[in-house]
Amino acid sequence: MKPLRLLALFIIPMGLIIAAVPQNKTKPYKLTAEELLGEVNTRTQYVTPDAVADMIIKKDPSLRLIDVRSQDEFEKFSLPGAINIPATDLLSDQYADILNQDIKMNIFYSNGTLTANEAWMITRQLGFNNNYVLEGGLNYWFDAILNPQKPASTSPDEEFAKYDFRKSAGLALGGGATMQTSQDQSATSSKPVIKPAAKKKKAAGGC
């Protein structure tokens, strides 16, 4: 896929969200389209469901899950300890200290990855660090963590180890519950390393 076409697939949806935000709430962007495309191509914004499940179970204080769906969807179901910041409210000043900080590892999630990726792109263009995306969103979370499929008998040991972890994590996190979620996209990556921001700020809100 040509670079310009790939960039358009990410920038156009982001523009729709920005258009929904009141004009006086917008802020100047710090990354160019080329810089953002470079970060998109690395795919380091993704965090696997396994890494997130492990952090939830261990009550990792550095984790902060941010549900970017609507308040109605959030109230029907959300991941343990998550807070709700609808995508259309991302540029609101009341969330600035939550999104622009170097204390917490913010992980955006939606039903899939499209809306969460838009949230990540907006915060990255604003120059914010420590914001990531849950791989596959809730759709993949239900399949991978809450309802994992046992590997075939010929699968390598690594697959059985992953299945055992997911089965245990699913039970600890309410596995077996059924939920209807909308279809979206998914991707793969490993748990990123938190990078300190240049300017320290105190985080607002809780996990």
Residue with tokens 């263009």: 125
Q: How far is CA 88 from CA 2, 70, 99, 158, in A?
A: 29, 9, 14, 40
Residue pair 132/107 in contact (Cβ under 8 Å)? The answer is yes
The reported pLDDT for the residue numbered 130 is 94
Query: Residue 121: which H helix or E strand, with range?
Result: helix 114-125
Secondary structure of residue 39 in the 3-state scheme: helix
pLDDT at 2: 54
Between CA 110 and CA 1 the distance in angstroms is: 26
Q: Is the pTM of this model over 0.85?
A: no
In this predicted structure, what is the pLDDT of residue 34?
Answer: 84
Domain boundaries, the chain: 3-23+30-135
Q: What pLDDT score was predicted for residue 120?
A: 95
Give the model's pLDDT for residue 40.
83
C-alpha 125/C-alpha 189 separation (Å) is: 21
Instruction: Please report the pLDDT score of residue 61 as a whole number.
Output: 96
pLDDT at 28: 80
The structural architecture, per CATH, of the domain 3-23+30-135 is: 3-Layer(aba) Sandwich (3.40)
Task: Work out the angle at residue 45's Cα, subtended by the Cα atoms of residues 42 and 50, and round it to the nearest 5 degrees.
Answer: 115
Q: What is the pLDDT of residue 30?
A: 83
91-98 long-range Cβ contacts below 8 angstroms, 24+ apart: 91/18, 91/21, 91/25, 91/26, 91/27, 91/122, 92/25, 93/25, 95/205, 97/201, 97/202, 97/203, 97/204, 97/205, 98/64, 98/66, 98/203, 98/204, 98/205
Which residues of the chain fall below pLDDT 70? 1-26, 175-207
Question: Residues, the chain, total?
Answer: 207
pLDDT at residue number 132 = 97
Extended beta strands in 4-94, E state: 46-47, 63-67, 83-84
